[in-house]
Amino acid sequence: MRFRISKEALRVIRTDLKRTTAYLNLIEAAKKADDPESQAAALNREALSLAAVVTYCRPFTACVRKDGKKKPWIPKNLVNDLSSNSQFLHLRITMDRNRFWAHADENDPRDKSKEILPLKKSVIPEFQHLIQEIMDRLEVQP
């Protein structure tokens, strides 16, 4: 199914999702080049992971539009049209963003965040596929 959106919405979504993909590519490149024991390398991967997750979630977060209405750039029902694996990953990313990456949830002590920081190597190709699956469903309104 294709979801029709405005040119402005598509521009915003493409910018954020392309930036997310660039961060994911940098994480992959850093993991190949860096000494895994290096603290600087670990901090770089964590920073890029944070940037990827937060940037990915932006188009799904309600924002105040030019018309004054508050709504996300990406139609809410688009996520329901994704494959079940992509839906699960999207839910995991957005939940983890809200609990660990962008906020400090009282029920989740920071030491639990070590389980997801930085993004695991196995998640990156799935994350990239999710982004492509979303982009493939968007088209500009006539």
Do 31 and 121 form a contact (C-beta atoms < 8 A)? yes
Per-residue model confidence (pLDDT) at position 118: 74
CA distance 47 to 53: 10
**Predicted pLDDT of residue 139:** 87
Domain limits of the chain?
A: 3-137
How many angstroms separate the CA atoms of 82 and 85, rounded? 8
Per-residue pLDDT of the chain (142 residues; tens, 9 = 90+): 888 888 888 899 999 999 999 999 888 887 666 566 677 777 888 888 889 999 999 999 888 877 888 888 898 899 999 999 999 999 999 988 887 777 665 655 455 445 555 788 788 999 999 999 999 999 887 7
List of residues 6+ apart from 4 with CB closer than 8 A: 139, 140, 141
CB 49 within 8 A of CB 117: yes
**CA gap 70, 65 in Å, rounded:** 6
Query: What pLDDT is recorded for position 103?
Result: 67
